[in-house]
Chain A
């Protein structure tokens, strides 16, 4: 039983396309996150979503938009993909209200050609 799952695992697409990455958690957590890991393995928070409050890292282009149909899902939609968007995207979840561990999904490797 996977705690945090992401689909697809790999995504190869052309510049200019629009794509979505899905994330689901079955841990009953109320906060979900998206992180981007670049080619140098540097991880950076993109978004966190908690009880309908969205916190956005100010460096994230507005081509990226998170969409949460319910507490168990936080999907990432990317418009007009660029070469620099190539990276591994990780979804994570946690409980709010204290110093809680974040549980990470397996990642989605996005390659923009």
Chain B
């Protein structure tokens, strides 16, 4: 069954505002990753957070992980039109490093209005 569930399914905000997306999962994980997918393109890795980490930053991105609640959030600050895309969380339960592949959520479609 599907591991991750993103919330909301779609989000439309004005350029310059912050965008927050949430992800919940069901089983124990080794790490959680966020990916971006532009329309008609492949997935691009954004950030990886390990199960023993609570928060991680990368540029305008901030990811939190709460393993007790089995949830993660992705915050994009000062959004830009180029941030328009679908965002997916993906969990990796394999301590050996992903040999079983990632389990993806359904994604949040983010639209940044200019």
- Interface residue ranges, A against B (CB under 8 Å): 4, 31, 33, 35, 40-45, 47-48, 50, 53, 55, 57, 90, 92, 94-107
Which residues from B are CB-within-8-Å of A43? 43, 88, 90, 104
| Contact A41–B99 (Cβ < 8 Å) | no
User: Which of B35, B101, B104 has most chain A Cβ within 10 Å?
Assistant: B101
| Contact A45–B41 (Cβ < 8 Å) | no
Which residues from A are CB-within-8-Å of B98? 31, 48, 94, 96, 99-100, 102
Which residues from A are CB-within-8-Å of B41? 106-107
Which residues from B are CB-within-8-Å of A40? 106
Cα–Cα distance between A53 and B96 once the two chains are bound (Å): 14
List which B55-111 residues lie within 8 A (CB) of chain A.
86, 88, 90, 92, 96-104, 106-107
Contact of B102 among A45, A47, A95 (CB under 8 A): A45
Given contacts A41-B107, A42-B2, A42-B104, contact A99 B97 (CB under 8 A): yes
Cα–Cα distance between A54 and B46 once the two chains are bound (Å): 27
| Contact A95–B97 (Cβ < 8 Å) | yes
> Which chain A residue has the least Cβ–Cβ distance from B107?
A41
* B42 interface hit (Cβ, 8 Å): yes
Which residues from B are CB-within-8-Å of A53? 99
Contact of A90 among B43, B100, B103, B107 (CB under 8 A): B43
Q: How far is the CB of B82 from chain A (nearest CB, A)?
A: 18
| Contact A44–B99 (Cβ < 8 Å) | no
> Which chain A residue has the least Cβ–Cβ distance from B37?
A41
Contact of B45 among A31, A35, A98, A101 (CB under 8 A): A101
> Which chain B residue has the least Cβ–Cβ distance from A43?
B104
